[in-house]
Amino acid sequence: MSQSRVAAVDVGNDALKGIFGDFDSEVYIPNVIARDIEDRPIIGIEDLDTKDPLDGLHIRVHSPALQENNVIYRVGDLATKSDNASELDPGSSKSQEDQTLIMLFASIALDAVQEENRQLFKRNNGVVEASYTLGTGLPLREVKEGKDVAYRSKLLGAVHQVEFLVTPKHQGKKVNIKFDEVKVYPEGFASFINLVMDNNLNVINKDLIDKRIIIQDIGGLSTDIAVIKNRNVDDDKAQGFNLGVSESLEKIREEIRTKHGVELDSRRDIVDIITKKNDRNHIMVKGSRTSVHDITDRILLELAKKQYRHLRNVWQKNSQTEIAYFVGGGSVVLKEYIKSINNKLDGYNIDFFEDYKESIWMMANAYYKLIKDFRRKNGLEASKKGASKQQATTSK
């Protein structure tokens, strides 16, 4: 009989981050999809079984949860090379977009077909019958609007199928995904959990546990600001805004194209230019190293000022706040700009995660901790196997 495997998945606006099992597998996929045909042309077909599946993720997705069903997509890195690549738009609701579900199903199917899971799930004629207990989340704004209930119901009680088409190592395989349980957490609460607790939900940061904290989570399309008091999110004061970094990244990409004639594939390329350790804010133009500092500084400083205004407004309404944490992928991009503004203006007690990967993976780590705790409390955990490994990789 199939067992239910843990999946903790953060479908971020920039990229999906997923953690599976006893922290024995993780996946990172740029949140980009593109419609495609069944027999996509490839170069070097003889090498198909030696390449990384993530480099050629080509799938057909069938699910009653989708508005457009049984459609073929390129996903992730492969999609960024398409002229019709689709990224989530500002103002969209994560819970109501097919793209969110396509990314979620693709990541779980990739985990299910791993050779290491052969003994876990039934396989019959190339079809994997996979059962998962899912921990995921939505922006505070959507949870406050009650959209988490509908999102959860889409996932439960149905079978979602992913068919791998021209995908390295998995061509021709199908995965039927069934969720035994789905927990949808508000992203602000998840951030708090990750800050103060380890994988077993033991308190690891006693200095923060009883403080009044603001957590400003800057994503691609939205920003969530959670006010933590008495170890809980204050629902009345929690706020969500349709303000993320994606629109600014698009502006930067467009200005680079207009000024330098360089076409960059996706927002991910812009993030790499801004955050890389060497030659930051530089691109290659006709083989020459060229600075785009003037473009990135102007656009990102403008966004940082808007983010800082939100922080100031929330702090003024919660004057006894002791510290504000900036988290999420957007905070990595804006960190130096926000620090500079704060030093010149109010001088609030703010902090960022210096570890780039820890900040990016914060939500996935939090969902993992929460869903594992749910399973323990409901007697679904067979053993403590892998606990030491989980703790060793929490900050990955």
363: left (phi over 0), alpha (psi -120 to 50) or beta: alpha
- Would you call 186 exposed, middle or buried from its count of C-beta atoms within 10 A (0-12, 13-18, 19+)? buried
Q: What total of structural domains would you count in the chain? A: 1
User: Is 51 part of any domain?
Assistant: yes
CATH number at residue 157: 3.30.420.40
177 - beta bridge partners? 130, 160
Each of the 396 residues of the chain gets a pLDDT tens digit; together they read: 458 999 999 998 888 999 999 999 999 999 999 999 888 766 555 466 778 999 999 999 999 999 999 999 999 999 988 888 888 777 678 899 999 999 999 999 999 999 999 999 999 998 999 999 999 999 888 888 899 999 999 999 899 999 999 999 999 999 999 999 999 998 777 778 877 888 777 888 777 778 899 999 888 888 889 898 877 778 778 788 888 898 999 999 999 999 999 988 778 789 889 888 788 899 999 999 999 999 999 999 999 999 999 999 999 999 999 999 998 888 888 999 999 999 999 999 999 876 667 778 888 999 999 999 899 888 777 544 444 333 333 333
Helix (H) / strand (E) element for 91: namely none
Q: Is 195 a domain residue?
A: no
Question: pTM score, two decimals?
Answer: 0.83
The reply to whether 264 falls in a domain is no
Question: Is 9 inside any structural domain?
Answer: yes
In a domain, 297, yes or no: no
109 in any annotated domain: yes
Domain ranges, residue 10:
4-185+376-386
- How far is the C-alpha of 9 from the C-alpha of 24, rounded, in Å? 14
Asked if 136 and 145 touch (Cβ cutoff 8 Å), the reply is no
Burial of residue 296, with CB atoms counted within 10 A of its CB: 0-12 exposed, 13-18 middle, 19 or more buried: buried
Q: Is residue 200 part of a domain?
A: no
Q: Is residue 221 part of a domain?
A: no
